[in-house]
Amino acid sequence: MTRNGGGLRVTRQEWIKYGALFLLAVVAFGVAGIALMGPRSPNEPSAALRVSPPTATAAATATPSSAPTATATATATASATATASASRLGIKLPAKPVLLVLGDSYTAGVGASPADQGWAYLVAGSLGYPTNIDGVPGTGFAWGGGPQGDRNLEYGVRLQKIAGNKAFVPNILILQGGQNDALITNPDQITTASTQTIESARRFWPGVQVVVLGPSAPQPFAGQLGAANSAVRAGAEAAGAPFIDAVGAGWFTGTNSPRFNFDGAHPNTAGHAYLAEKFLESWATLVR
């Protein structure tokens, strides 16, 4: 390149050199662009946007409040399934119903004042059938009562004693409980005992209609009853008996439990009235 009269004059050789340099620059820029836009997995962001995956805690916190949690969805599904199962089985009322309600401290009316304001007494009064109520605190389908569960007061044992009284022949049996069975670590033991209890009742009183009301309790205790509840439900289903799922249906919630709580494990008088109301709602779907 030479200067002539204050201007610039570029020789042909220099034009060729500059053109080649420009072309190389364009090619290099294109290769860099291809490298940045090269193939990657469909879920992988580009280098500029890549972020570390959130931790499990962060992911749980970020879940929108409007979307149901997995636990809530599972609970709703279990409740709907249990309700559908109970409604499908149902019971056929005898011409002259005679009712036996057998259970634990809930059936005994613990927490209600007076005890005859317990859920079982309220249900019996509402139904109006001749009724015997047998509630023994600390017992269950497989738990015999007492700190070690060795008092020999399991539901099946008590049913056998009641059956010895030939003057009382129930044709409807409501079995309530499962809270104390939660003390048993093997759920299969609870399931087996639940099934055997129902089958024993049918041998003692042929044709008796059996309904099982599973465990229930104010929160937070209700949250500890899931395994026992599932075991009792499985036992009822194996015996073909309708199962009313208080835990799965979420009768006692974090919102209403403070109003219904007596001592952390039992409902108060208002809680027993609420339990009776919910039971009667379920009962209405079973009877035909």
pLDDT at 64: 28
Using pLDDT thresholds of 50, 70 and 90, give the confidence band for residue 288. Answer: confident
Residue 35 has pLDDT above 50, yes or no: no
pLDDT of 88: 63
Q: What is the pLDDT of residue 82?
A: 41
User: Which is higher by pLDDT, 168 or 49?
Assistant: 168
Q: Residue 89: what pLDDT?
A: 79
Query: What mean pLDDT value characterizes the chain?
Result: 79
The CA-based angle 196-197-198, given to 5 degrees, is: 90
Tens digit of pLDDT for each residue in 79-104? 444 444 444 679 999 999 999 999 99
For the segment 177-186, what is each residue's pLDDT rounded down to a tens digit?
999 999 999 9
**pLDDT average, residue stretch 248-270:** 97
Report the C-alpha gap between 227 and 245 in whole angstroms. Answer: 13
pLDDT computed for residue 17 by the predictor: 46
Q: Give the whole-angstrom CA distance, residue 265 versus residue 219.
A: 9
Whether the pLDDT of residue 235 is over 80: the answer is: yes
Q: Which of 2-11, 34-43, 61-70, 81-90 is predicted most confidently?
A: 81-90
- What does the alpha-carbon distance between residue 203 and residue 200 come to, in Å, rounded to a whole number? 5
In this prediction, residue 140 carries a pLDDT of 98
HSE-up of residue 49 (Cα within 13 Å, Cβ side) = 6
Q: What percent of the chain has pLDDT over 90?
A: 68
Which range has the worst mean pLDDT, 46-60, 127-141, 143-157, 243-257?
Answer: 46-60
Residue 250 has pLDDT above 70, yes or no: yes
CB atoms under 10 Å from CB of 8, counted, come to 8
Is the pLDDT score of 9 beyond 70?
no
Res. 69 pLDDT band, cuts 50 70 90: very low
The mean pLDDT of 201-222, rounded to a whole number, is 97
According to the model, what pLDDT value does residue 233 have? 98
Lowest mean pLDDT among 41-55, 129-143, 163-177: 41-55
pTM: 0.71
Mean pLDDT of 162-181: 98
Q: In whole angstroms, what is the distance from residue 278 CA to residue 212 CA?
A: 14
- Residue 42: pLDDT band with limits 50, 70, 90: very low
Residue 266: the pLDDT is 98
At residue 33, the pLDDT reads 39
